[in-house]
Structure 1
C-alpha cells in the first residue's frame, strides 16, 4: 500500500487531500477483502489466447455470449485456455471501443452472469478502455449539461491552441467542437474520433472513477487486463502527449493495484509504436506491464513472406533483448485492428514500406492514414484479414493455406504468449461488403456470423475454413506440449539463408530447431547432423548436415 500511496503523490504532486487518499485506499482494501479466487501465477507453453468479440456469433434470439460459450465448449476449449473478449460493454461506435458504460455488459451479449459462466471454463482477458469514453456516455452528457462534477473530466481548449507537437495517430481533428446545453461551444480533446472523448487523468476524480472500473473487472474474473491506447493517457499541450512520464506512473499505479488486490493478474499495454517506445512499458521489469504487444511481428512476417526474404525479420529478432523473468511479449499476427505500419519505421526504408502498402492495396486491402507534424500524411495501418494479406486474390487455396500456416508456425514458436484472432482460426477472407456497409476500413476484418454458417463450413472438410481450423488447431496442440516453447525459454537466432528464418528455442534435451522457408523456392540449409523428430508431423527426420525445405515449408525439430 505504501507503493500505491507513493505513486499517487508523484502523479498529483502531493496535492491530494488526506480525505481523498483515504477514500481511494478504502476502495482498494474493500476489493481485496472481497477477492474469492486466485489467478494463475505467471505463464507457460500451454497458454494460447483467442481474441474474439462477445457478439461474434448469433443464433436466433439467444444472447451472443451464450452462443459463443456453446461454440467455445464444442470447438475451441481444447485449443485455447485464455479468451480475450474485446469490449463487451454498451458502446456507440468502433465495435465496442467507444464505451458508453464501463461497468455494464452490452444487453445484446448478455450480462455479468454470462461472463462468469464463460470464466468457469477459461481464463478471461478484458479490455480496459482507459484513454477515452463514448460521446454518448453519461459522463460526457453531464459534462455538456454543465454538471459541475464532470467539469474537469475532459479537456477543452481554445481552438487556436498550438497543438502541433502532439503525436497524431489519425487524420481526424484533435479538437472536436461540441455544443453544451447552455449554447456554449467547447473544443474537446479527441485523439481517435469525434465519438471517443479523451479522459482527463489530471483531474483526480477521473482516476478514482476509473479505479472503480478496474476493480469491477478484477471482481468479475479478469485475469488479463488489456490497457487500450494507454500511451495517450496523460496530456500536456506543448509536448507530444504520448508516453509522457505521468502516463508511465499511471501504468505503475494500475500494476500496484492489481498486484495488491489480485496477485497473478497480468497487465498488457497496447501501444502500436516503434519497439523501443513499446518495451518501456515493462518499466524496470517488475513495476509496469507484465506483457506488451509485439507489434513489429505482424508486419515483419508479412514483409518477409511478400519479399521471400528473411533478412529484416532475422536482423530484428536477433536484436531482441531477453525479457525479465516477470515480463514477456504478447505475440499476434492478426487482431480486430489492422496491421500496424509504425513499428516498421526504423526497421525498413520508407520506400519498402510504401511498396508493401501498394502491393497489398492492389490485392484488395484498405489503407488507413495518419497526419504528420509537417502537414503530410503517412499510412499507419493496413486493413485486411491476415489470410488475404499473405496471398494474392488469384492464388490457389493450397498456396494460401501454406503461407498462412507458415506465418502461424512462426507466431507459435516465437518467445512470448501467442494470441490468435477468431477470424484467423476460422480462415476468414476479406469482408468487403461489411466494410462498405459500416463505412470504415477496419470492418473488413470484423465480420460477425450466424453460428450455423460457421458450423456448416467447418463440417465441410474441403472448405478453406475447415482446412485452416484443422491445421491450426493441430499446430497449437503441438506447441502446447513443448516445454521449449515456454514464453521465457531462450531463443538463439540462426542466420542460415536469406530465404529462411531460423532459430533455436530451449536448451539441452528440450532444444527445438525452428526453420521457416519464406520463399516459393526449394532451399537447402545446414543443420547439425543427427536424428530428429519433426514435431508438427510427429515423424522422424535424419539429417547428414543439410536439409532441403520445400516452398513455404516450416519444421520444428527436436532430438
Structure 2
C-alpha cells in the first residue's frame, strides 16, 4: 500500500515561509517526525485564479513557489500528494488560448465542451439547467473567437467571474485523456505518490440530471484513470462533496474517500456536549478514508450531511459558529436546498476559532479525528492553532481566506511555542507510532456526555476517553513494558 496510516500535512506551497524551499526547511526543522504520512501540497502550478485551482498546466511549478526540484527535495523525506483538477483547466492555458484564437480549427478544440455537444445548435435549455447542481448562476461562459468573431458558449462549472477562469474539460474526449495521461506521467517522474482528483464529481454530465456524479458514466472515467494511475504506482484520492451515500458508493468500488462528515459531527458533539450522533456515525462509516477537520475550503454541511442531520439542530450549530466569527457559503440551486430552506453549504472559519479558541476542546477534536479509522490530515492553519484571518478576507474579498493565513517564518516559530500546538504535536507523535492503530477499532459504550473509542492489535491496546462536560481527554494504553499507562492529552 502506497498510503501510510500516519498523519499528513495539508498546506499551500507558500503558506509556511513563502515558498517550497522554506516549506521544506520548516518541515525538516520542526516536523520531521510529525508528518510521516506525507505532505499534501495544494496546487503549486501556474494558475490564473482560485488560489491555484485554475491551473494553466501541470508540467511546471509556478516560479514564485519554486520548481519541481523543490518538490523532489520534499519528496526525499515525505510522500508528496498533489491535486489534479480533472474537471477543468484555466482559460489562460495554452490549450484554451489557442481555442480562443482559432475556434473549432484549433487542435485543442475537442478538449472543451462547446454546448452543441449537449444541446441542439448549442443553445442551453433552462429546464435542463434547473436540474443541475450549480456552482455558479449558469454552467457556461460565452467567448468571442479572435479569428472569426464568432461567439462560442463553453461549459464552465466553476468560477466567480464571467466569463469564468475555469474551463471544463471533456473527459470523454480522447485528447483530454491523452493530456491527463501526460500530466500523470509527469507526476510519476517527479516522485509524486498520491494524486487527489479535485472536483471529479463534475466530470460526468448528462442532460436531465444534476450533472454531478452521474452513474454509470462516473465509474467509466474513474476506472480508466485508476488503471492508468495503478500502472504508474500512484494512489488516487477522489474528492467528492456530495450526499454521504455517494461517498459510500466510491468506498464500495474500493476507492479512498474523504470523510467530509466527521468535521461537522465533531463540532456538533463539542458544542452540544452530546456524543450520540457522532458515535453512531463512527460505528457505521467505511474505514478506507482520509480524515480532516479543516482545509482550504470550509467545514462541509450540505449536501455532505443531508439525511444525517436535522436542519433545525444544524442551524443552531451554524449560529454558534457565526457568533464565533464564521461566515457561510450557501447553496445556489433552489432544488438542492433543504425543504425548510436550510441552505448552508460550508462554514468558513478556522477550526480552532469554531471551538472558541478553547485548547482542550480543540485537542479533544483532534483526538477524535486521530482515533477515527482512516489517514488523518492536518491543515497547516490547524497545525499552528491559527485563528480566523479577517484581514485577508477584507484584503482579497474572498471569504475562504478566513482560513488561509500565510505564516511567516517568525510566525511559525511563535506558534510552535504555544501550549496547544505542543500538545497537538505530542498527540500526532502518539498517533504515528502506536502500533494498535493498525489493528481493530471499536466504539465502546459511552454516556451521552462522554466518548470512549479503542484500538487493539495483538498485545497493544489504547482507549480514548473524553469528558464532554470539561473537554478533558485521556488515553489509556499498554506501553512497551506491558504496563497500563495514562496519557493526559
Cα contact 2:371–2:453 (8 A) shared by 1? no
Computing the radius of gyration over CA atoms, which structure comes out larger, 1 or 2?
A: 1
What TM-score, normalized to structure 2?
0.89
What TM-score, normalized to structure 1?
0.78
> Deviation of residue 203 (structure 1)?
1.6
2:237 equivalent to 1:268: yes
2:95 equivalent to 1:139: yes
* Alignment equivalent of 1:506, drawn from 456, 460, 483: 456
- Paired with 2:458 and 2:143, the residues of 1 have a C-alpha distance of 63
* Matching residue of 2:405: 447
* Matching residue of 1:36: none
* Matching residue of 1:16: none
The 3-state SS of whatever aligns with 1:272 is: coil
* Matching residue of 1:386: 351
> Deviation of residue 57 (structure 1)?
3.3
- Paired with 1:481 and 1:427, the residues of 2 have a C-alpha distance of 23
Gaps of 5+ in 1: 1-40, 392-396, 526-530, 543-553
CA 1:102/1:541 → structure 2, altered by over 3 Å: closer, same or farther? closer
- Paired with 1:485 and 1:163, the residues of 2 have a C-alpha distance of 48
Cα contact 1:129–1:228 (8 A) shared by 2? yes
2:173 equivalent to 1:203: yes
* Matching residue of 1:50: 9
- Paired with 1:255 and 1:186, the residues of 2 have a C-alpha distance of 33
Cα contact 1:308–1:520 (8 A) shared by 2? no
* Matching residue of 1:314: 279
Cα contact 1:383–1:442 (8 A) shared by 2? yes
Cα contact 2:44–2:61 (8 A) shared by 1? yes
* Alignment equivalent of 2:314, drawn from 353, 363, 367: 353
CA deviation string 1:247-291 (max 9, x = no partner): 2221111211122222xx321111112222012223533xxx3x2
- Paired with 2:311 and 2:58, the residues of 1 have a C-alpha distance of 39
* Alignment equivalent of 1:252, drawn from 186, 199, 223: 223
> Deviation of residue 479 (structure 1)?
1.4
Aligned pairs (5 A) from 1:257-336: 257-262=228-233, 265-285=234-254, 289=255, 291-321=256-286, 323=287, 328-336=288-296
* Matching residue of 1:170: 135
The 3-state SS of whatever aligns with 2:110 is: coil
The 3-state SS of whatever aligns with 1:504 is: strand
CA 1:256/1:555 → structure 2, altered by over 3 Å: closer, same or farther? farther
2:441 equivalent to 1:491: yes
> Deviation of residue 54 (structure 1)?
0.9
2:151 equivalent to 1:185: yes
> Deviation of residue 375 (structure 1)?
8.1
- Paired with 2:141 and 2:427, the residues of 1 have a C-alpha distance of 47
The 3-state SS of whatever aligns with 2:316 is: helix
> Deviation of residue 79 (structure 1)?
0.6
CA deviation string 1:109-139 (max 9, x = no partner): 1111111111112111111111111122122
The 3-state SS of whatever aligns with 1:511 is: strand
Cα contact 1:89–1:101 (8 A) shared by 2? yes
- Paired with 2:229 and 2:124, the residues of 1 have a C-alpha distance of 40
CA 1:123/1:297 → structure 2, altered by over 3 Å: closer, same or farther? same
